[in-house]
Structure 1
Amino acid sequence: MIQDAILAAAHYLCILLLVTFLAIETALVKREWMPLAAAKLVRYDALYGLMAVLVLTTGLLRVFLGAKGAAFYEHNPVFHAKVTLFIAIGLLSIWPTLRFRAWGKAAKADPAYAPPEVELRKVRRVVMVEVHLLALLPILAAFMARGIGMQG
Structure 2
Amino acid sequence: MLTDALLAFFHFLAIFVLITLMAAEAVALRPDLTPATVRRLSVYDGVYFLSAMAVLATGLLRLFYGAKGADFYLHNPWFHAKMTVFVVIALCSLPPTFAISRWRKQSRKLPDFVPPPSEIRKARRWVMIEAHLVILLPLCAVMMARGIGAR
With the length of structure 2 as denominator, give the TM-score of the two structures.
0.97
Q: Which residue of 2 aligns with 1:80?
A: 80
Q: What amino acid does structure 1 have at the position aligned with 2:30?
A: K
86-95 vs 7-16, greater mean Cα deviation: 86-95
Tell me, in whole angstroms, the C-alpha distance in 2 between the residues paired with 1:84 and 1:62. Answer: 17
For residues 122 and 98 of structure 1, the distance between their equivalents in structure 2, rounded to whole angstroms, comes to 12
Find the residue that maps to 2:32 and give its secondary structure: helix
Unaligned segments of structure 1, at least 5 residues: none
Amino acid at match of 2:58: T
Matched, 1:122 2:122: yes
Letter of the 2:76 counterpart: N
| Residue identity opposite 2:56 in structure 1 | L
Aligned to 1:67, the other structure's residue is in SS state: coil
1:13-92 aligned at under 5 Å gives the runs 13-92=13-92
CA contact (8 A) 2:33 2:114 kept: no
- RMSD over aligned Cα atoms: 0.9
- The 2-side partners of 1:71 and 1:51 are apart by 26
Code of the residue aligned with 1:133 in structure 2: it is L
- Matched ranges for 1:121-140 at <5 A: 121-140=121-140
Point out the more displaced range, 140-149 or 108-117: 108-117
- Unaligned runs of at least 5 residues, structure 2: none
- Percent identity for Structure 1 against Structure 2: 48
| 1:80-118 per-position Cα deviation (integer Å, ceiling 9, x unaligned) | 000111011111111110100111111122222111111
After TM superposition, give the deviation of residue 29 of structure 1 in Å: 0.6
In structure 2, C-alpha distance between the alignment counterparts of 1:59 and 1:45, rounded to whole Å: 21
For 1:51 and 1:58, the matched residues in 2 are separated by 10
User: For 1:93, what is the secondary structure of its paired residue?
Assistant: helix
CA distance in 2, matches of 1:106, 1:43: 15
